Amino acid sequence: MGVLAIDFGGTRTRTAWYNADLEQQARDETPSLVNQPAESVIRRIIETARRVVPSGAVIEAIGISAPGPLDSRTGIIRHAKTLPGWRNVPLASIISEALGAPAWMENDANLAALAEYHLGAGRGCDPAVYLTLSTGMGGGAVVGGRLFTGWSGLAIEPGHMRFTLADGSVRRLEELASGTAIGQRARERLAQASASSSLRDVPEITGQAVGQAALNGDPLALEVVREAGFWLGLGMVNLLHLLSPQVIIVGGSASLLGDLLFDPARTTIEAHVLDPAFIPPALIRPAALGDDVCLVGAAAFALQTL
């Protein structure tokens, strides 16, 4: 007996077999090749899944991590930026029928939150909030030990908090504090100012390039990262006042900036929180789980839902 976990991503599909203690027993992976027709993609997911099920074993439940927005109650992928041509695909029920076990699907950031709560940086924390900062900004929350997705089943989406800028425009937090935002802001700064910067020698100013320059001490890159940290902190102030988490775990490529990004966030939180009693010890923590975070989350979700 065990649960099957499937992490279907835009680039790779990972599958693994877990026991009831969330210990991984077998693992496989394959390229997702999402530009091929959906039928082939799904067939390959199912083949990769079959390879990790021990022969003769009964699958108790299947947990599936997939890119959102998706409807976890029906197991339908509504649409996803990373899946061209996928519209309202009932992925959970297709996989459930093929493998003969109940299957539940959730979006990757929500399952990463659940995984970090069970085995990572958020163990025992209530509520535990997870943010992923990379191209965009995703997130998830675990309340009372269970994934919290609100009435819509689509929460939480911290990257979609709104702020206003000096020009009166309304921006999403992910437009101000994601890796993409950091790259964009650096390009704007380089175009405006004449300040010297090691970034002037870089052919493509990505968030990653800016991050590397900041880690090397480039002043313009550091300023851009500090600015992103300010907005991240302001978003965390809102998270504290609305969810009052015991931990905010930060994953994704931009989290590699570490305290360069987190210190200005901490300063902003201290300046703007209503009461210091909202701030737990070690509020901001880097994600602890690696590539298999969504597999662990999918297995935990299947066990929890079962």
Nearer to a copy of itself, 198 or 278 (CB): 278
Q: What is the closest distance, in whole angstroms, from the C-beta atom of residue 145 to a copy of itself in the complex?
A: 12
| Contact status: 137 vs a copy of itself (CB under 8 A) | no
The beta-strand segments (E) located in 149-274 are: 162-164, 170-172, 247-251
Return the closest-CA partner of residue 98 out of 65, 151, 62, 66: 62
**Rounded to the nearest whole angstrom, what is the least distance from the CB of residue 249 to a copy of itself in the complex?**
14
User: Residue 191 or residue 277: which is nearer to a copy of itself going by CB?
Assistant: 277
Interaction of residue 138 with a copy of itself, rule CB under 8 A? no
- Min dist CB 146 to a copy of itself, Å, is 9
Q: Give the footprint of a copy of itself on residues 160-199 (CB under 8 A).
A: 160-168, 170
160 or 187: CB nearest a copy of itself: 160
Contact status, residue 161 vs residue 172, Cβ threshold 8 Å: yes
Tokens in use for 73? 């109650």
Q: HEC profile for 11-78?
A: CEEEEEEECCCCCEEEEEEEECCCCCCHHHHHHHHHHHHHCCCCCCCCEEEEEEEECCCEECCCCEEC
Q: Does 234 participate in binding a copy of itself (rule CB under 8 A)?
A: yes
Please identify, using beta-carbon distances, which residue of 4 and 77 lies nearer to a copy of itself: 77
Phi, psi of 31, rounded to the nearest 5 degrees:
-65, 145
The DSSP call for residue 276 is G
Binding site for a copy of itself (CB under 8 A): 69, 71, 125-127, 143-144, 148-158, 160-168, 170, 234, 237-246, 271-275, 277-278, 280
